[in-house]
Amino acid sequence: MKQIWTTVKSVLKDKIPGHSFRMWIDPIEFREDCGEVVILSCPNSFSKKRIADNYGELIEAALGDAAGRPLTLNLVVGPAQEEDGLAPSPDPQMKLPAMDIPANGGQLLRQDYTFDQFVVGKNSDFAYSAALALAARNLGNQNALFLHSKTGLGKSHLSQAVGHHILKSFPEERVYYITAEDFMNEMTSAYRCNNIHAFKEKYRHNCDVLLLEDVHFLSGKNGTQEELSNTLESLMNANKKIIYSSCYLPSEIPKLHDKLKSRFTCGLISKIGTPDYRVRLRILKQAAKTGACAVPGVVLEYLASELTEDVRQLKSGLIGVMARASLLGSAIDLELARDVATNIVTNREKITLDSIKRLVCKYYDVSMADLISRSRRQAIVRPRQVAMYLCRRYTDHSLQAISKSFNRYHATALHALKTVEKEVKANGPCQKHVEFLSQRLEKGDA
């Protein structure tokens, strides 16, 4: 039977794309023949689930064809059979504690941002496979990956999943997870404290895996770009692993040095698209299961069909349904789901570039002419930046379209987004303004 499995692998190699075969099928090993059942071993639990979901029927059919009789496939996690008998059954995979995981440097890794918690679909299949291959050291000579998607589609999840996998499989590896903004702030602080040598030593020689988020923040930051470019060159020459993430492709980031742009594009570039209905439904099912809440299937199907923008909107709808049911003491049913989803979708549809401009002008007591003028007075600049931020957050317009509607360049709009994002994260003076205006928009008061 072991020879039959070797034959089957050869057959499957011709039917499955090369990168998928190397990632999922090649590591499978024959373990035991139990008459009509063939037991095959997988390296870990999430590869077992992935193989069963996507290739189980194909493998079972190929086994039956090769053996000349129907066979049942049984996938297990653990080593294959050794010469002196079966290897001891592995301990079940330990669950991570309900806390975020510290990396060796930078920010914490979210406890739930792992590969087995990521719902894979056509929109993210290549990005997921590439991230897992890099984490498992199965990506050949490629040690860099650039994840690109709109906000809320999972690039941070995949980036942190790589960190989780490496810390678990190779605990001696030094993993740094950090945003581009924090990298810049740390570098600036190192210069001020006359400690730049330690900073360079940390990232160039004491880092094995760098997970760098929101690299578009570096637009126009010449000093940081130069330092990061040199750091990346050191890491690449040492064959270290790097994952970048951004809402924009490297070619779309303005005021980016050619040298740094070349670093970003020298590895794989993978886009995560908007999930289709089937993937959205699976995301909701997993979220409901994780939240230990019994949500009727018809409610999940309705939410999946109505909330189509991104994963965050999906989960927001599910949370809204569960919260409303809890507060009202009512059952989770289709009528309740309709109220929540209709409120989300209707309000979003009413939000346009012009409605946001009108609301901001009214709130800050400025005229529409001032808002789109060339004025650089702070009393005009701040409302304009907030308006651009809200336009990007609540509409589907591209950054180019938003900047054009404000009579500005693409780089100016990007700078406005970064400025407001920074203050919102830091709970700065602008944070309460944005929060109030967001509530007005979401309530349909624009």
* CATH number for the domain harbouring residue 298: 1.10.8.60
- Whether 132 and 117 have beta carbons less than 8 Å apart is answered as no
CA distances to 23, 105, 110, 179, 385 from 211, rounded to whole Å, are 22, 10, 13, 8, 29
User: Within a 10 A sphere around the Cβ of 436, how many other Cβ atoms?
Assistant: 11
Taking Cα atoms as reference points, which of 164, 194, 61 lies closest to residue 104? 164
The residue from 271, 291, 326 where one domain ends is 271
The residue from 209, 243, 271 where one domain ends is 271
Residue 235 CA, chain-centre distance (Å), reads 23
- Whether 355 and 363 have beta carbons less than 8 Å apart is answered as no
- Looking at the fold, whether 304 and 382 belong to one and the same domain comes out as no
- Whether 314 and 298 have beta carbons less than 8 Å apart is answered as no
- Looking at the fold, whether 134 and 255 belong to one and the same domain comes out as yes
266-286: pLDDT as tens digits: 888 999 988 888 888 988 988
d(CA 262, CA 244): 13
In a domain, 91, yes or no: no
* Predicted pLDDT of residue 339: 82
- Looking at the fold, whether 113 and 262 belong to one and the same domain comes out as yes
Give the lowest-confidence range in 22-31, 338-347, 379-388.
338-347
d(CA 74, CA 428): 56
Q: Are strands 105-106 and 101-102 parallel, antiparallel or unpaired?
A: unpaired
Q: How is residue 339 written in tokens?
A: 């109220």
In a domain, 213, yes or no: yes
In a domain, 113, yes or no: yes
**329 CB-contact burial (10 Å; exposed 0-12 / middle 13-18 / buried 19+):** exposed
User: Across 170-304, where does the E strand assignment appear?
Assistant: 175-179, 209-213, 241-246, 268-271
- Looking at the fold, whether 380 and 417 belong to one and the same domain comes out as yes
Which residue intervals of 250-296 are DSSP H helices?
A: 258-265, 277-290
Residue 158 CA, chain-centre distance (Å), reads 5
In a domain, 86, yes or no: no
- Give pTM, 2 decimals: 0.60
- Looking at the fold, whether 210 and 261 belong to one and the same domain comes out as yes
In a domain, 312, yes or no: yes
> What are the φ and ψ backbone dihedral angles of 273, each rounded to 5 degrees?
-90, 180
**82 CB-contact burial (10 Å; exposed 0-12 / middle 13-18 / buried 19+):** exposed
- Whether 247 and 209 have beta carbons less than 8 Å apart is answered as no
Which 3 state secondary structure label does DSSP give 13? Answer: helix
Mean of per-residue pLDDT scores for the chain: 83
Q: How is residue 357 written in tokens?
A: 């401009």
- Whether 147 and 270 have beta carbons less than 8 Å apart is answered as yes
238-265: pLDDT as tens digits: 999 999 999 888 888 888 888 999 999 8
* Predicted pLDDT of residue 241: 92
69-104: pLDDT as tens digits: 888 888 888 765 544 444 444 444 444 444 455 556
- Whether 311 and 152 have beta carbons less than 8 Å apart is answered as yes
- Looking at the fold, whether 32 and 158 belong to one and the same domain comes out as no
- Whether 178 and 245 have beta carbons less than 8 Å apart is answered as no
Q: How is residue 301 written in tokens?
A: 């199907």
List the CATH number of the domain containing 106: 3.40.50.300
162-173: pLDDT as tens digits: 999 999 888 888
286-323: pLDDT as tens digits: 888 876 678 888 888 888 888 877 788 888 888 888 88
- Whether 136 and 26 have beta carbons less than 8 Å apart is answered as no
- Looking at the fold, whether 399 and 410 belong to one and the same domain comes out as yes
- Looking at the fold, whether 229 and 125 belong to one and the same domain comes out as yes
In a domain, 152, yes or no: yes
In a domain, 429, yes or no: yes
Domain count, the chain: 4
* Predicted pLDDT of residue 220: 83
Edge to edge, the sheet with strand 37-42 lists: 29-34, 37-42, 72-77
Edge to edge, the sheet with strand 268-271 lists: 105-106, 175-179, 209-213, 241-246, 144-148, 268-271
d(CA 443, CA 438): 9
- Looking at the fold, whether 196 and 281 belong to one and the same domain comes out as no
Domain range holding 70? 2-77
Q: How is residue 21 written in tokens?
A: 């075969």
Give the lowest-confidence range in 19-23, 130-134, 352-356, 378-382.
19-23
d(CA 106, CA 178): 5
User: Within a 10 A sphere around the Cβ of 381, how many other Cβ atoms?
Assistant: 13
In a domain, 58, yes or no: yes
- Looking at the fold, whether 152 and 232 belong to one and the same domain comes out as yes
Bridge partners (DSSP) listed for residue 29: 41
- Looking at the fold, whether 160 and 128 belong to one and the same domain comes out as yes
Alpha-carbon dihedral sign for residues 372, 377, 379, 381: positive
- Looking at the fold, whether 60 and 115 belong to one and the same domain comes out as no
The residue from 331, 349, 367 where one domain ends is 349
d(CA 245, CA 24): 25
